[in-house]
């Protein structure tokens, strides 16, 4: 029997999953990436994680159909090169595909993590039965995968979908990507938690801010409404430009729920052009934290 090993690398965690050929998950593991400050250490951690799952499940190399990675930054999917990661320092035009294939002896596929989340939600989640979809992942970074007429759209250099790096003001904070006033600088995990610390005068988690908002705490509600308004402004432009059937939103920030989604929908209704605004549906992702892994497994199964 053949298996696929899928990896979802984020700014906080590395998720790894073992899938059968029907892309059903058989095993999963989690590793924190915060302790790996250097590129080489993180690459070795990826290799060790793959070898461990092969060893623990008593698999042979010929049992592995492919290894697929969803990565949080611009990727050349054909050459297998990581251009850089906005939220993980030390990566610059790294030939990760060839490094992993040389060390592991198995075909390796790379793509942007938001693209793989979109692929999963389109095939098996909230965007199924549509033709045109934009799927956002809101976490340490803010990314999007775009489905146009039933196909994943990657752009001329395979780097479409960087919605987190659309500027929402003429001036503003410098972003890790090198730009200024990017959406991610306002609605990523870090700026939301910074705003929460300033408001509550103590450290709080995203989960606590969400719980407080559900209990009608007006300060917590304002945090999510501010985030929803900023997301809605950018998504109004996306709706006008792409005229999608659905916008699917997942990731840790999306767990805030309706207090966030209501403001996004309200802002789109107020600011997008009326025909496009009335058509588009905004909803939560259905596949949760497994979306990136499922998308990576689908990539390995179907190829680029």
Alpha carbon distances (Å) from 32 to 9, 42, 195, 196:
10, 10, 24, 24
* Per-residue pLDDT tens digits for 96-113: 999 999 999 999 999 999
- Amino acid 239: pLDDT: 98
> Which residues lie closer than 8 Å to 139 by C-beta, 6 or more apart?
10, 11, 12, 188, 189, 251, 252, 253
Q: What fold is seen in the domain 3-115+290-302?
A: Nucleotidyltransferase; domain 5 (3.30.420)
pLDDT band at 85 (very low <50, low <70, confident <90, very high): confident
CATH number of 128-285: 3.30.420.40
More confident residue, 290 or 145: 145
- 3-115+290-302 and 128-285, same CATH topology: yes
Instruction: State the Cα–Cα distance between residues 247 and 245, nearest whole angstrom.
Output: 7
pLDDT at 37 over 70: no
Domain boundaries, the chain: 3-115+290-302, 128-285
How does the average pLDDT of the chain come out, rounded? Answer: 91
* Per-residue pLDDT tens digits for 218-229: 999 999 999 999
- Amino acid 304: pLDDT: 52
* Per-residue pLDDT tens digits for 286-298: 998 889 999 999 9
């Amino acid at each position: 029997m053949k298996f696929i090993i899928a990896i979802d690398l984020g700014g906080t965690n590395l998720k790894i999953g073992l899938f059968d050929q029907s892309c059903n998950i058989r095993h999963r593991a989690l590793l924190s990436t915060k302790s790996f400050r250097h590129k080489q250490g993180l690459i070795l951690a990826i290799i060790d994680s793959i070898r461990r799952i092969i060893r623990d499940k008593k698999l042979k190399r010929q049992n592995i159909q492919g290894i697929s990675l969803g990565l949080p930054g611009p990727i050349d999917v054909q050459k297998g090169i990581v251009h850089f990661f906005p939220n993980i320092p030390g990566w610059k035009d790294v030939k990760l595909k060839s490094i992993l294939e040389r060390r592991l002896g198995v075909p390796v596929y790379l793509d942007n993590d938001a693209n793989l989340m979109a692929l999963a939600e389109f095939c098996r989640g909230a965007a199924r039965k549509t033709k045109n979809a934009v799927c956002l992942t809101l976490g340490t970074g803010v990314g999007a995968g775009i489905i146009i007429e039933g196909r994943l759209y990657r752009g001329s250099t395979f780097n479409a979908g960087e919605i987190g790096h659309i500027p929402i003001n003429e001036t503003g904070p410098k972003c890790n990507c090198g730009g200024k006033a990017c959406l991610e600088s306002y609605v990523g995990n870090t700026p939301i938690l910074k705003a929460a610390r300033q408001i509550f005068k103590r450290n709080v988690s995203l989960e606590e801010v969400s719980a407080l908002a559900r209990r009608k705490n007006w300060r917590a509600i304002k945090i999510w409404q501010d985030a929803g308004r900023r997301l809605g402004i950018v998504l109004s432009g996306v709706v006008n430009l792409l005229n999608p059937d659905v916008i699917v939103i997942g990731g840790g920030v999306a767990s805030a729920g309706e207090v966030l989604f209501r403001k996004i929908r309200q802002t789109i209704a107020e600011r997008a052009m009326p025909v496009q605004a009335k058509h588009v549906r905004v909803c939560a992702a259905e596949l949760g934290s497994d979306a990136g892994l499922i998308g990576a497994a689908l990539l390995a199964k179907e190829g680029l």
